[in-house]
């Protein structure tokens, strides 16, 4: 059955037309997916994509139905799931309809408050993570539409002939909601399922929740859905497929968690654990929906380590470390910068990462005569890493670093 699963070439998936999840349940794909649920008393939209795609979302909805939109449900408060709702509000105003009622978990307002407080920081890190143009402002004022109704653990929403059951979960966020539609045997998971190795341990973002994520996926499988609308990627139909996707993803998360915990209990430190727990077992790694195209096992390991431990790495010399530049200067006093760059070039064919560390010694150590050459080599090495990196996040970090190094080389 594994070879019958679709394979995503990258993080972003967009079909030409809405995909059928179940009877009158339609998946609208894009940067972040939305789901349009038809009822006899109007539409329910689960997630509202990114701000820039709001008009496109509305067009897709109107290709399905001309009914008024009664509710918008946020599966969580990320910008690719909640910021396009403005277009739905604009339409309601223009057509003289009541505006849609927004429903979300009670922690979504706290998330929006944090985004507003740290708007500059979030804009900066999101530009790198998503390879956005340098002036992009993801968290600018006017993008936040707070929920009208919130809930804590579970909420039943009756719309027309349907009962929508909203359940709280924790995974990529602490404010996650998955929506179960029993009359249609369909579930909207948000980013609890994303057609990638789960995005835990994101190097830019706050703590995420591997065990709770696994539990949420197991709870989804337990209601036996026949159609699944994911937060990213294509719809999954067929009870057996939905069950497999949820439970195997949960198994992957539990395996990584248990392996890290076992090693921590044996007294291993982070460096060893990260080096040795860097892939899923082969039977899980081969799954089309667990490829490391967004999150990756190494990021998940970092996330688990952060959750269960502090920042001390086991080496007492690093408790109050010297500045990186001071260490690099001492190395350059002992080893010629030219020889370090020569060795870095030789390592390029076998160990790009080690080559990068040698180049950084020259840059950080203040070898001004070789600074431009070192920066240019660093740019080339980072691009070489990006060329073979499957994770969207890691690849963008490498590309961003390469561009910055090349720019600095020109100015040196």
Q: What is the pLDDT of residues 186-244, one digit of tens each?
A: 999 999 999 999 999 999 999 999 999 999 999 999 999 999 999 999 999 999 999 99
Looking at domain 2-254, its CATH architecture is: 4-Layer Sandwich (3.60)
The residue ranges of every structural domain in the chain are: 2-254, 322-411
- pLDDT for residue 2: 42
Q: What is the pLDDT of residues 146-163, one digit of tens each?
A: 999 999 999 999 999 999
Q: 3-state SS of 139-170?
A: CCCCCCCCCCEEECCEEEEEECCEEEEEEEEC
Percent of the chain whose predicted confidence (pLDDT) is above 90: 92
Would you say residue 1 has pLDDT above 70?
A: no
Q: What is the pLDDT of residues 289-341, one digit of tens each?
A: 999 999 999 999 999 999 999 999 999 999 999 999 999 999 999 999 999 99
Q: How far is CA 55 from CA 15, 61, 138, 265, 356, in A?
A: 17, 10, 17, 52, 44
Q: From the CA atom positions of the chain, what is the Rg in Å?
A: 24
Q: What is the pLDDT of residues 59-115, one digit of tens each?
A: 999 999 999 999 999 999 999 999 999 999 999 999 999 999 999 999 999 999 999
- pLDDT for residue 137: 84
Q: What is the pLDDT of residues 33-67, one digit of tens each?
A: 999 999 999 999 999 999 999 999 999 999 999 99
Q: What is the mean pLDDT of the chain?
A: 96
Beta bridge partners of 150: 104
- pLDDT for residue 11: 64
């Amino acid at each position: 059955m594994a070879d019958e699963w679709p394979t995503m070439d990258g993080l972003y998936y967009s079909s030409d037309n809405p995909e059928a999840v179940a009877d009158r349940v339609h998946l609208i794909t894009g940067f972040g997916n939305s789901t349009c649920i038809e009822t006899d008393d109007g539409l329910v939209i689960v997630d509202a994509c990114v701000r820039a795609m709001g008009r496109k979302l509305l067009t897709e909805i109107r290709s399905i139905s001309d009914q008024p939109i009664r509710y918008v449900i946020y599966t969580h408060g990320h910008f690719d799931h909640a910021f396009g709702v403005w277009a739905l509000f604009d339409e309601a105003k223009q057509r003289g309809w009541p505006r849609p009622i927004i429903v979300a978990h009670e922690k979504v307002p706290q998330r929006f408050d944090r985004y507003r407080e740290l708007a500059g920081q979030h804009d900066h890190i999101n530009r790198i993570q998503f390879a956005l143009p340098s002036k992009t402002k993801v968290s600018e004022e006017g993008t936040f539409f707070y929920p009208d109704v919130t809930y804590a653990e579970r909420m039943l929403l009756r719309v027309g002939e349907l009962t929508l059951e909203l359940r709280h979960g924790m995974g990529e966020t602490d404010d996650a909601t998955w929506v179960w539609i029993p009359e249609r045997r369909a579930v909207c998971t948000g980013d609890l399922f994303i057609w990638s190795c789960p995005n835990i341990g994101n190097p830019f973002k706050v703590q995420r929740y591997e065990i709770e994520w696994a539990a949420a996926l197991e709870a989804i499988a337990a209601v036996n859905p026949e159609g699944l609308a994911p937060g990213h990627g294509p719809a999954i139909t067929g009870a057996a497929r939905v069950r497999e996707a949820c439970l195997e993803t949960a198994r992957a998360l539990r395996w990584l968690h248990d392996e890290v915990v076992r090693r921590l209990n044996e007294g291993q430190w982070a460096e060893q654990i990260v080096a040795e727990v860097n892939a899923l077992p082969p039977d899980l790694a081969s799954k089309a929906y667990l490829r490391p195209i967004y999150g990756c096992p190494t990021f998940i390991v970092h996330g688990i380590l952060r959750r269960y431990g502090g920042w001390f790495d086991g080496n007492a010399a690093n408790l109050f470390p010297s500045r990186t530049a001071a260490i690099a200067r001492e190395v350059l006093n002992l080893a010629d910068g030219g020889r370090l760059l020569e060795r870095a070039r030789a390592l390029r064919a076998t160990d790009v990462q080690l080559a990068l560390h040698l180049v950084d010694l020259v840059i950080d150590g203040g070898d001004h005569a070789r600074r431009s050459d070192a920066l240019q080599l660093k740019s080339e090495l980072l691009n070489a890493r990006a060329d073979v990196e499957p994770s969207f996040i890691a690849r963008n970090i490498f590309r961003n670093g390469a561009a910055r190094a090349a720019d600095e080389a020109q100015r040196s």
